[in-house]
Amino acid sequence: MKRSKIKELEEIARKTRVEIVEQVYRAGSGHPGGSLSIADILTVLYFYEMKIDEKNPNWEDRDRFVLSKGHCAPALYATLANKGFFDFEDLKEFRNINGKLQGHPDMTKIPGVDMTTGSLGQGLSAANGMAIAGKLDKKDYRVYCVLGDGEIEEGQVWEAAMAASQYELDNLCVIVDNNNLQIDGTIEQVMNSKPIDEKFRSFGFQIIKIDGNDIDEIIKAFDVAKNVKGKPTCIIAETVKGKGVSFMENQVKWHGKAPNEEEFKQAIAELSK
């Protein structure tokens, strides 16, 4: 991958992070930490990897994306706006009761959202259904699903993982946002799900481990995943919660908290360098 393309994607991810912080600050609520950690992953998906058409969001042959950890909607909304699915002005509606950009994605109201999410643990089941449908319809689209590392404490995730392996869904790519923090502590403190890679491997997945905040590594991981046959792929993306904002990085309190005015100004200043 040419360095110029990587720099271009890094700039989009930086802009996405600015828009994440702005959304949460304006709304006075939201989830900045996990949104910031997946900005690089979503940037690569929407600006490099996925076959999509922002002018035709319901294109039958498009690749599908499911944000299973739906509370990190600010990252998805910023990415969709950057890609041109809707106007940037719409980002000001985030968590506004009269707006379409609510705290969790709604596929009935937002162009580019393939699945309504927010009830944790259920996104992979929906992604499985999309992948199975693709197989049955003899389509070549791929399905991508982002899970939180805290979210995989939900039992339904592992039922879905069994199904994905059973049906040999090699058109499915799961990405675990492994930032190691959830709402009230580390994943080890709350409900230790490690080793995540060995668990998914034992469920029949091809495993790829990467730095999930490194654009080049993300691109290479998706390139490998596309060539896996006969089984689903799970990318374990080690990320930094709150990535890009010094006082938010690796701080559990920023899981679901809006910055005040002073914090907002500092965050934007850091992200604008």
> Do 91 and 81 contact (CB within 8 A), yes or no?
yes
Instruction: Show Cβ contacts of residue 245 under 8 Å, excluding neighbours closer than 6 positions.
Output: 17, 21, 32, 36, 266, 267, 270, 271
Q: What is the pLDDT of residue 65?
A: 98
Distance CA 65, CA 77 (A): 13
> Do 117 and 68 contact (CB within 8 A), yes or no?
yes
Distance CA 156, CA 123 (A): 9
Distance CA 73, CA 35 (A): 7
Q: What is the pLDDT of residue 167?
A: 98
Residues in the chain, pLDDT under 70: 1
Domains and CATH numbers, the chain: 3-271 (3.40.50.970)
Q: What is the pLDDT of residue 273?
A: 80
CA distances from 193 to 151, 197, 200 (A): 10, 10, 11
